[in-house]
Amino acid sequence: EAGVAQSPRYKIIEKRQSVAFWCNPISGHATLYWYQQILGQGPKLLIQFQNNGVVDDSQLPKDRFSAERLKGVDSTLKIQPAKLEDSAVYLCASSLLGDTQYFGPGTRLTVL
Amino acid sequence: AQSVTQLGSHVSVSEGALVLLRCNYSSSVPPYLFWYVQYPNQGLQLLLKYTSAATLVKGINGFEAEFKKSETSFHLTKPSAHMSDAAEYFCAVSNQGGKLIFGQGTELSVKP
């Protein structure tokens, strides 16, 4: 069974630029999560989708971050414009029944 | 509100020694508890989970954890450390289907 796929693996941008990350969950998993992991910290949830609807986006900085999950499968997370403090690893996870979350390899973003 | 506290940001053991990583949680509802491991430049891999069945949970790679409600703890143990166990370990709590709340992580070093 293929795992959660993410791309790109690494991205370096300058502040005020925009960036997008892509996630393809495990086939059949209805729930998809985006987490932000700042160096030295545990991951923090940004947004949770159930199929293509948003369940929880309370921690998403909506003035600069946006996310969508078209057709309830793939998802894209966008940052526009990026700030220095957005430097982090962005992790995507998916879940079949909502109990166990399976994580992708992450995208490491560096904002200069 | 739910929270997780991992005692000790760094733990160092000798190869063959007992591994003990401490995790205490706070939850107003019966929790689901998880331990994940993260190797450098990789995503999170599930070690084991507690979802209200047996209080002693066995996971992959010889790890196990015991849920102690009276102590609000879910400590991770392994009888004999191996060099390949060196990684970052995260304890997490969820409210049965929702987001994961992670601790700060514990970096495990294994000395030869």
Across A70-76, average pLDDT: 90
B-chain residues near A100 (CB < 8 A): 34, 46, 49
**Residue A7 in this model has a pLDDT that exceeds 70:** yes
Across A38-66, average pLDDT: 93
Tell me how close the Cα of A108 comes to any Cα of chain B, in angstroms.
8
Tell me how close the Cα of A3 comes to any Cα of chain B, in angstroms.
11
A-chain residues near B51 (CB < 8 A): 99
**Nearest CB partner across the interface for B99, out of A45, A102, A105:** A45
- Residue indicated by tokens 């509802």: B29
**Residue A1 in this model has a pLDDT that exceeds 70:** no
Tens of pLDDT along A10-51?
Answer: 999 999 999 999 999 999 999 999 999 999 899 999 999 998
**Sequence-separated (6 or more) residues with CB below 8 Å from residue B84:** none
How many contacts, defined by CB atoms under 8 Å, are there between A and B? 59
pLDDT at A107: 97
pLDDT at A111: 97
Across A83-96, average pLDDT: 96
Q: Cα–Cα distance between B90 and B105 in angstroms, integer?
A: 5
10-residue mean pLDDT profile of chain B (112 residues): values are 92 97 89 92 91 88 94 96 96 83 96 95
Interface test with B, best of A99, A102, A107, A108 (most B CBs within 10 A): A99
A-chain residues near B43 (CB < 8 A): 4, 6, 91, 103-106
The number of CA neighbours under 13 Å toward the Cβ of B104 is 8
Cβ contact A44–B102 (<8 Å) = yes
Q: Cα–Cα distance between B16 and B18 in angstroms, integer?
A: 7
